[in-house]
Structure 1
Amino acid sequence: MGDSPDSAAITVEGLWKIFGSGAQKVLAGDDRNLDPVALREKTGCTAAVRDVSFEVRPGEVFVVMGLSGSGKSTLVRCLTRLIEPSAGEVRIDGEDVRAASPARLREIRRHQVSMVFQHFGLLPHRKVIDNVAYGLEIQGVPRQERHARAAEILSLVGLDGYAGSFPDQLSGGMQQRVGLARALAVDPQVMLFDEPFSALDPLIRRDMQAEVIRLHREVGKTMVFITHDLSEALKLGERIAIMRAGAIVQLGTAEELVGAPADDYVADFVRDVPRSHVLTLRWICRAPEPGDPLDGPELPAATPVKDAVAVASASSLPIKVVADGELAGVVDRDDLLAFLAGQDPHSVRANA
């Protein structure tokens, strides 16, 4: 998984959540390997999270996606024990969350981790500024200090001038910005988002996605984002874990998921994604062949394929693909045409 546990913001190892009175008996035997329907019929238990392991790097936007019932919301709630895991390890900044006492767990939730839910959960009788400052109030921060911090965060999320409003005077998108500001106000190390924009209109949802991207760029928080929407996952996630029936079936970058789906389930998920918008020149470049001129245009390996088409059209020479200052390969018009036609340019060239 790359990073050592001590360097990861979040480490999850062998995490299980089984609902039902026989959960520990299931974990101790072979029944845990049954498919969800068979497990439920035999034991009456439901394995909502099944042997999940991953790491989230500091400052990363890590997306967990899947259809309804895949276990993604249960998973994110297990991270801070809003739902108690049945087995496995969860570490936040190296600390074993499952070993935390109730008092320590409250401290983790108040100071280190903030959550943003689909349902905003704003206090209707309190003004916006007091909603944003609520976490600081729980921490015991004096009123003047917490209001100053709340005003600063309201400005950050584009809600200048609304400090004195009540939640029901705001649109859904603005209410979600208040929820986002409330999560940011306590300056957490980690932010957990559980389908926060699912109830919003498409245009407002798009604006809020852009807001999360902007805020991440400005404040650099580690973020775990839960969604059932693939376009949202591709837009936000540096890496994406796809869940099915409580297990992670593939974890990788958007490029890895689209370019090399692990199975038919993932392939079906990404089937309608425009490959040229997601895959980069790194994915299709090849080693130069004898006689290939190397004085053509130069593009970074991270350039999306769609953005290379105009460059290739303007030059008869192969594009030099460069990564970290070194030549990673070349791409010419034939390679791009083969890719855009849905073919593997390497196979087409080998069979030519």
Structure 2
Amino acid sequence: MTNCLDIRNLTKIFGPRSTELAKLLKAGLSKRDLNEKHGHILGVNDISLSVRAGEILVVMGLSGSGKSTFVRLLNRLIEPTEGEVLCEGVDVTKLSAGDLRKFRQKRTAMVFQKFGLFPHRTVLENAAYGLELQGVPLDKRRREASTWIERVGLSGSENHYPNQLSGGMQQRVGLARALATEADILLMDEAYSALDPLIRVDMQDMLLALQKDLKKTVIFITHDLSEALKLGHNIVVLREGTVMQQGRGKDIVLNPANDYVAKFVRDVNRASVLRVGDVLDPMALGGSRLKLAEDSTVYAALKFMNTEQVSAANVVDDTGRTIGTVSMNSIVAAIAT
């Protein structure tokens, strides 16, 4: 799988002497001294990572960790102090104003926590807004927007206004607007944080279902570990603008890189994090009438096998091909490790 984004040494310091102080930061200046002695604020500190095409990368951390600053650096809603954001080899930080505008309109789309809908526009008009910016003719953008309104489950609401919708419905409009542009990259900044828990779960499930078909590259920002573990192919944990750890959910839970990450994950139920694909035996093929998807949690697998009164099941990939087997014993051993 190829990389869609390569982020190299990305740094953001807020203040008029940011370029000068970036050099001192590299030489060992602390965040505290940067603030107290120089009156500048560190947003993001020397982040380097790659995002594969078609994956959901979740960036998580507490308030003030720099996660929202980070996602806004990717499309230059905030200008970086230093570093590169390479999109298939093109450095976004070097784009001219015109090329940057095209990049924002056609390559990326953003979904905000506060929905960002126009109160005086209908659902259909809001969903079509990105296409309007692209210069798509009226009839075509209405057709496209209607298609995505249906895909996110809002058929029949096209002529309603945002204040007539629940929070979850408004966020679906925001997602439809982003998807209608056919952008390769979705930037989702705390997109579900303002929603009630049950609606939030529904939105997570909808995103995962859409992603199976669309295979967008998604940068998803959250402060919620359970959301990160559910959605993320890979997870980045930030603290004070610095990466504490990056990797798959199971690696972060089972092998935290430091005490900070360990505190984050100490109460996580491993059975809800580990996937069947993490514990399967690839050498054992067939031998069971039951099938489990490789991305199923081991908790769901145990429940399923117990209901069916079997001790093992075949594991299949997203094409339905058998890639191994998993047993109750192997699952229990993995959870207890």
Query: Displacement, 1:43?
Result: 2.0
Give the length in aligned residue pairs: 330
Other-structure match for 1:349: none
8 A Cα contact 1:281 1:331, kept in partner: no
SS at match of 1:200: coil
Report the TM-score when normalising by structure 1.
0.83
1:137 aligns with 2:129: no
168-177 or 33-42: which moved more? 33-42
8 A Cα contact 1:64 1:241, kept in partner: yes
Pairing partner for 1:245 from 214, 219, 240: 240
Pairing partner for 1:176 from 171, 176, 182: 171
Larger Rg: 1
8 A Cα contact 1:320 1:327, kept in partner: yes
Query: Displacement, 1:273?
Result: 1.1
Other-structure match for 1:192: 187
1:274 aligns with 2:269: yes
Cα separation, partners in 2 of 1:188 and 1:332, compared to 1, 3 Å:
closer
Query: Displacement, 1:277?
Result: 2.3
Q: String of CA shifts for 1:181-210, please: whole Å, max 9, x gaps.
A: 111111101110000111111111111111
Which amino acid in the other structure matches residue 196 of structure 1? A
Give distance in 2, aligned partners of 1:23 and 1:127: 42
Other-structure match for 2:198: 203
> Any unmatched runs of 5+ in structure 2?
none
Identity fraction in percent: 46
8 A Cα contact 2:302 2:328, kept in partner: no
Cα separation, partners in 2 of 1:337 and 1:108, compared to 1, 3 Å:
closer
1:71 aligns with 2:62: no
Query: Displacement, 1:259?
Result: 1.2
8 A Cα contact 2:280 2:324, kept in partner: no
Other-structure match for 1:221: 216
Report the TM-score when normalising by structure 2.
0.87
Query: Displacement, 1:20?
Result: 1.5
1:90 aligns with 2:110: no
Query: Displacement, 1:218?
Result: 2.2
SS at match of 1:33: coil
Query: Displacement, 1:119?
Result: 1.0
Query: Displacement, 1:55?
Result: 0.9
Give distance in 2, aligned partners of 1:309 and 1:202: 24
8 A Cα contact 2:315 2:322, kept in partner: no
Pairing partner for 2:259 from 264, 268, 277: 264
Give distance in 2, aligned partners of 1:197 and 1:180: 11
SS at match of 2:58: strand
Which amino acid in the other structure matches residue 104 of structure 1? D
8 A Cα contact 1:309 1:336, kept in partner: no
Other-structure match for 2:8: 13
Give distance in 2, aligned partners of 1:128 and 1:319: 45
8 A Cα contact 1:31 1:39, kept in partner: no
Cα separation, partners in 2 of 1:156 and 1:285, compared to 1, 3 Å:
closer
Give distance in 1, aligned partners of 2:208 and 2:62: 23
Other-structure match for 2:153: 158
82-91 or 206-215: which moved more? 206-215
Which amino acid in the other structure matches residue 171 of structure 2? Q
1:27 aligns with 2:22: yes
1:230 aligns with 2:225: yes
Give distance in 2, aligned partners of 1:47 and 1:339: 40
State the superposition RMSD in angstroms: 3.1
Give distance in 2, aligned partners of 1:26 and 1:281: 48
Which amino acid in the other structure matches residue 95 of structure 2? A
Query: Displacement, 1:336?
Result: 5.7
Give distance in 1, aligned partners of 2:154 and 2:276: 40
> Any unmatched runs of 5+ in structure 1?
289-293, 345-352
Which amino acid in the other structure matches residue 254 of structure 2? G
Other-structure match for 2:55: 60
Cα separation, partners in 2 of 1:321 and 1:102, compared to 1, 3 Å:
closer
Give distance in 1, aligned partners of 2:315 and 2:304: 15
Cα separation, partners in 2 of 1:213 and 1:28, compared to 1, 3 Å:
same
Query: Displacement, 1:70?
Result: 0.4
Give distance in 2, aligned partners of 1:256 and 1:117: 29
Cα separation, partners in 2 of 1:155 and 1:44, compared to 1, 3 Å:
same
